[in-house]
């Protein structure tokens, strides 16, 4: 046996090692149970991979992003094996890892029931304990077709191998673009074949290396994501490196479920989605309308202070407008179909920017007017498939707080800096404070993007410099730019650590060119302005939903639809509280008095369920002293507060945007 020289790379540390021919990655990291795979020349490999002379080998920890994906993809295979052991007629779709888990699609005669999922999970536990070995082998297309002749969806994937964009989402984990491989699940003792699947891998060494998993739910899913194809059954699951991490994740999900804005919206009587309107179309009830109005009013005030000018545009336009802007050829799938009348095709507005361009173009513009900041609460309509519509956070009709700033190239750096600071400060005012920035750039290999290389480079660099000035983490998003320009997205974490995309800021050299926008420069020449797109909330509806979940319905006083509820100890105290409420309303506070026939304790429970910040209680002693008592949402109480002082305390909490 000859010697093989390899380098083991751990972060910045390098270790040179001489081993014998046939040494595997598992041999290199023997005893290190947290290592589940290796990276060699940038490619992930199973631990069974035999290292070659001169190679650099990096260990992959199970807790890393790659390690978690390998764990979850391996668990998906175990789930698929369990399904086929219990349902032998089930045909296999695909089973990739996803964020926090995995799924696998199956073609079965009847949908899976919750009882089926319990049986499948139990069978998975049996397979996990068997310690079956994941064994990779290279095959040819012809041999794979013969072996998998009973799996029509796998055969289709083999035919699509290497055809970018044609395979199903997640199918790259199965076929990739290189050599074709099959993974066999082998009996730990005999080495006999237990199950096999088309897959590019890598996988964990054995099923016993799967520490903790749970099946979550099943749902219908179209094969390859197309409604033209057959509907399959998809089972979702999650897998984690330890049982404690699985438990923590399930507790997180339970907390997230409590905060689900759709559930809270119904419980707090804020909004609803009537079937008569169709999916993704919300109506706001009076209490939700109050919150929305306060959000909009505050935003308007801040925009006025920052020098924005308010505009309004219609909800529908001739189709040609969106051809000019480039949206129709690049974004048609996100727009509702055309409506024909008067011999013309019209479209529901899916974005506000083309109409703002028409406002700029309506007359001659001078450099003295720039930067021109146009702002609109503009309602738009997007054709979202019914399967992805999700309450207020993914809807078909919503209102954007949309601004478009027209400036000179010289003004652009300062304007971007000011814009990003304005956006972050306003988000902080609504109680979001934990941010990172994402810089979305174009993919030079894609034909999705319009404009010259020089324009893209200049626009991207301007955004990068503006982002870096904020001192926040800057995450790259290659290929995620809009077709007309790069963008910065503000990612904000909520109270339970979930990241939401909030505001976006884009630099656009292309739409001004397509619309022929010009201004007269100081030397009398005609110049093209730079167009900056900026949505602060993204959409009011979505931002509303995010805040509702962030606060779990307990909005800070300034946003709460009812800021205080008067609760009389007895009926005789109602007039006193009505007088107090009248004085508070004169100061601009939103206060109600519960004069119902319910007992006082039930009134308190009702106010707590409604998440009212202040319960204002009055009894004989309070009336005699011209005072009230406060009961807060957390159950604490403050007694004997003079009426004027009580109103002042609530006003101060509103002014400071305090969470009570």
Q: Specify whether the CB–CB gap between 306 and 422 falls below 8 A.
A: yes
Residue 77: active-site member: no
Are β-strands 499-508 and 487-493 bridged in parallel, bridged antiparallel, or unpaired? Answer: antiparallel
Are β-strands 434-441 and 339-341 bridged in parallel, bridged antiparallel, or unpaired? Answer: unpaired
- 404: annotated binding-site residue? yes
Are β-strands 101-107 and 519-520 bridged in parallel, bridged antiparallel, or unpaired? Answer: unpaired
Q: Which of 45, 353, 508, 527 is an active site residue?
A: 353
Q: Which of 487, 534, 590, 611 is an active site residue?
A: 487
The pair phi, psi for residue 572, each rounded to 5°, is: -70, -15
Structure tokens at 393: 């956070």
Residue 234: active-site member: no
Give the whole-angstrom CA distance, residue 605 versus residue 377: 37
Q: Which of 116, 402, 455, 494 is an active site residue?
A: 402
CA 622-626-629 angle, to 5 degrees, is 40
Q: Three-state secondary structure along 369-380?
A: HCCEEEEEEEEE
3-state SS class at 292: helix
Q: Which of 128, 132, 233, 400 is an active site residue?
A: 400
| CA-closest candidate to residue 530, choices 481, 459, 463 | 459
Residue 402: active-site member: yes
Residue 353: active-site member: yes
Torsion of CA 150, 156, 160, 164, to 10 degrees: -120
Neighbours of 365 (CB within 10 A): 19
Give the whole-angstrom CA distance, residue 416 versus residue 469: 10
Q: How far is CA 304 from CA 375, 532, 579, in A?
A: 10, 18, 36
Residue 533: active-site member: yes
Torsion of CA 481, 302, 517, 349, to 10 degrees: 60
The dihedral through the CA atoms of 96, 99, 100, 105 has a sign that is: negative
The DSSP result for 558-590, as a single string, is TT-SS-EEEEESSGGGHHHHHHHHHHHHHTT--
Residue owning tokens 């109050």: 290
| CA-closest candidate to residue 74, choices 182, 205, 234 | 205
Q: Which of 200, 396, 404, 442 is an active site residue?
A: 404
Q: Under 8 Å CB-to-CB from 348, ≥6 apart: which residues?
A: 315, 316, 335, 336, 339, 380, 381
Q: Which of 77, 533, 573, 603 is an active site residue?
A: 533
Residue 407: active-site member: no
Which residues are catalytically annotated?
353, 382, 400, 402, 404, 487, 533
Residue stretches of the annotated binding site: 353, 404, 533
Point out the annotated binding site for Zn(2+): 353, 404, 533
């Amino acid at each position: 046996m000859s010697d093989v020289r390899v380098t083991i790379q751990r972060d910045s540390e390098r270790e040179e090692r001489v081993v014998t021919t046939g040494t595997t990655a598992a041999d290199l990291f023997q005893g290190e149970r947290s290592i589940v795979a290796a990276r060699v020349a940038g490619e992930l490999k199973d631990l069974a991979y035999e290292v070659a002379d001169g190679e650099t080998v990096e260990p992959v920890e199970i807790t890393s992003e790659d390690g978690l994906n390998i764990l979850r993809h391996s668990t998906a295979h175990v789930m698929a094996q369990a399904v086929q052991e219990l349902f032998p007629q089930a045909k296999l779709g695909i089973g990739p890892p996803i964020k926090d888990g995995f799924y696998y699609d199956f073609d079965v005669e009847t949908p899976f029931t919750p009882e089926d999922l319990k049986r499948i999970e139990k069978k998975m536990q049996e397979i996990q304990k068997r310690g079956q070995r994941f064994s990779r082998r290279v095959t040819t297309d012809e041999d794979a077709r013969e072996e998998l002749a009973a799996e029509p969806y796998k055969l289709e994937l083999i035919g699509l191998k290497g055809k970018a964009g044609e395979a199903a989402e997640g199918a790259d984990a199965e076929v990739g673009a290189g050599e074709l491989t099959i993974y066999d699940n082998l009996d730990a003792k005999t080495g006999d074949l237990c199950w096999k699947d088309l897959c590019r891998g890598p996988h964990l060494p054995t099923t016993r290396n799967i520490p903790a998993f749970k099946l979550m739910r099943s749902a219908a899913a179209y094969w390859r994501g197309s409604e033209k194809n057959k509907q399959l059954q998809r089972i979702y699951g999650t897998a984690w490196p330890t049982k404690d991490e699985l438990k923590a994740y399930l507790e997180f999900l339970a907390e997230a479920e409590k905060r689900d804005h759709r559930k809270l919206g119904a419980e707090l009587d804020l909004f609803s989605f009537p079937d008569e309107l169709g999916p993704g179309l919300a109506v706001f009830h009076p209490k939700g309308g109050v919150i929305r109005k306060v959000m909009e009013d505050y935003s308007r005030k801040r925009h006025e202070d920052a020098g924005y000018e308010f505009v309004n545009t219609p909800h529908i336009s001739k189709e040609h407008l969106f051809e000019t802007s480039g949206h129709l050829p690049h974004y048609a799938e996100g727009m509702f179909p055309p409506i024909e009348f008067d011999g013309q095709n019209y479209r529901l507005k899916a974005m506000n920017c083309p109409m703002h361009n028409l406002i700029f173009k309506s007359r001659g513009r001078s450099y003295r007017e720039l930067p021109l900041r146009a702002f609109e609460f503009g309602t738009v309509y997007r054709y979202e498939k019914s399967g992805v519509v999700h309450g207020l956070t993914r809807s078909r009709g919503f209102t954007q707080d949309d601004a478009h700033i027209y400036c000179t190239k010289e003004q652009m750096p300062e304007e971007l800096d000011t814009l990003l600071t304005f956006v972050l400060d306003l988000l902080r005012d609504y109680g979001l404070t934990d941010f990172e920035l994402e810089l979305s750039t174009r993919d030079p290999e894609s034909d999705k993007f319009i404009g010259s290389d020089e324009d893209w480079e200049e626009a991207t660099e301007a955004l990068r410099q503006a982002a870096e000035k904020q001192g926040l983490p800057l995450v790259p998003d290659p290929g995620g730019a809009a077709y007309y320009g790069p963008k910065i997205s503000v990612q904000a974490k909520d109270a339970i650590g979930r990241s939401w995309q909030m505001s976006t800021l884009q630099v656009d050299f292309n739409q001004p060119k397509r619309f022929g926008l010009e201004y007269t420069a100081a030397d009398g020449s005609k110049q093209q302005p730079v167009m900056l797109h900026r949505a602060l909330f993204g959409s009011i509806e979505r931002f509303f939903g995010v805040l509702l979940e962030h606060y779990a319905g307990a909005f800070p006083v300034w946003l709460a639809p009812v800021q205080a509820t008067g609760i009389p100890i007895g009926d005789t105290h109602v007039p006193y509280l009505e007088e107090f409420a009248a004085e508070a309303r004169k100061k601009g506070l939103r206060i109600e008095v519960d004069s119902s026939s319910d007992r006082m304790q039930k009134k308190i429970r009702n106010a707590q369920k409604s998440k009212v910040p202040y319960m204002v209680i009055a009894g004989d002693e309070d009336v005699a002293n011209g005072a009230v008592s406060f009961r807060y949402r957390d159950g604490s109480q403050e007694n004997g507060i003079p009426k004027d002082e009580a109103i002042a305390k609530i006003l101060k909490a509103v002014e400071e945007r305090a969470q009570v």
